[in-house]
Amino acid sequence: MIRVKARRDSLPARMSVMKSRTSRSSIVSSSCRWPRRGAPADRLCAAGRPTISRVCGSMSECGGILAYSPRDDADDPGKDMRRDLALTLAVGVVAAVVGTGFLAIMRPGPGAPAAAPEEPAAPRFEGSSEGAPAPDRLAIALDEAARELDLVRPPRPRLADDFAVALVRGDTFRLREQRGKPVMINFWATWCAPCREEMPAMERLYRRYKEQGFVMLAVSIDSDLALVTPFLEAHKLTFPVALDAKMELANTYRVRALPSSFIVDRQRYLAALALGPRAWDSRAAHSLVEGMLRQ
């Protein structure tokens, strides 16, 4: 389990995660103890694939790309559920009563002229892309792939932050120059076991689609290049790698867990975020990249 603890600053506690900067010394491998409700929201944990039971809290867009709202582990987990179910039931009853009255008002009286027949609405396809128009099939395929990979999707379109970073093998990577190509930006470190776990799959994904325009950038937050180069050579990793020793880019993207992978579409909009390792050579990952290449 990799935890990234944000440094506190003078802003209100509820904004500490969004605005504070992360220091390397605060990134540790340990179990997470969660602050009680009302305490500063300065911790995030992700162990493996982030599911409802494995990510302690909820993700939402708030000023930055994503912000984190912590959960109080001391709370009764069934209390909120019972409250929500009761509220849902009450809302449903009210909606049914209001809807019945509305239908009674809108029902035409005897002798009223019949309404002109409406044109049938275009069918909506959920769960399957068969028979859908080409753009709809592509959108559905992307949604299915993102769902299978447990990716976090932003609620609204948002441009990914532009940046330029030196690559460890020379040259400079500039995000704005990748427009027209889907990009995967992965934040990692050599001491991060989940990061090392997904690297071989990332390499296979990169080799499979790099000639078609797929771009991958792995950003190491290690403090020394001497730690990174031997690792790349030992695992025969060929995708572009950058060293973010001062964590400037990691703070720009508000990284709070490792590994974190940001998926950017061909128009430079943030398409999805993965917290924790993924099977990047899986069928779902192939569908995701192929769909973005066709966008």
Asked, for residue 249, whether it belongs to a domain, the answer is yes
Whether 38 maps to a domain, the answer reads no
Q: Which residue has the higher pLDDT, 216 or 88?
A: 216
Q: Which of 131-135, 174-178, 271-275, 276-280 has the lowest mean pLDDT?
A: 131-135
Is 73 among the domain residues?
no
231 in Cβ contact with 190 (< 8 Å):
yes
Can you tell me the mean pLDDT for 140-150?
90
Residue 185 pLDDT more than 60?
yes
DSSP SS3 for 155: coil
Res 73: pLDDT = 40
Task: Please report, for the domain that includes residue 196, its CATH number.
Answer: 3.40.30.10
**In-domain check, residue 183:** yes
Handedness of CA 278, 225, 4, 33 (dihedral sign): positive
pLDDT at 27: 55
Work out the pLDDT band at 33, boundaries 50, 70, 90.
very low
* Tens of pLDDT, residues 49-66: 443 333 333 343 333 444
- Full domain range(s) for residue 203: 134-294
∠ Cα 62 63 68 (to 5°): 40
Quote the pLDDT of residue 194.
97
Cis peptide leading into residue 259 (ω within 30°): yes
CB neighbours of 118 closer than 8 A, spacing ≥ 6?
none
Angle at 200 between CA 194 and CA 203, to 5 degrees: 125
Does residue 213 form part of some domain?
yes
Q: How high is the pLDDT of residue 24? A: 62
Residue 185 lies in a domain: yes
Q: Evaluate whether 158 touches 269 at the Cβ level (below 8 Å).
A: yes
pLDDT for position 141 = 80
Residue 12 in this model has a pLDDT that exceeds 90 = no
Domains in the chain: how many in total? 1
pLDDT over threshold 90, residue 189: yes
- How high is the mean pLDDT of the chain? 71
pLDDT at 134: 53
Per-residue pLDDT for 40 more than 50? Answer: no
User: Has residue 40 been placed in a domain?
Assistant: no
Q: pLDDT higher for 281 or 70?
A: 281
Spatial neighbors of 163 by CB under 8 A, at least 6 apart, are: 174, 175, 249, 252
Please work out, in degrees rounded to the nearest 5, the angle formed at the alpha carbon of residue 180 by the alpha carbons of 175 and 183: 50
Q: Which pLDDT belongs to residue 174? A: 98
Whether the Cβ atoms of residue 207 and residue 199 lie closer than 8 Å to each other: no
pLDDT (0 to 100) of residue 245: 96
**pLDDT category, 121, cuts 50, 70, 90?**
very low
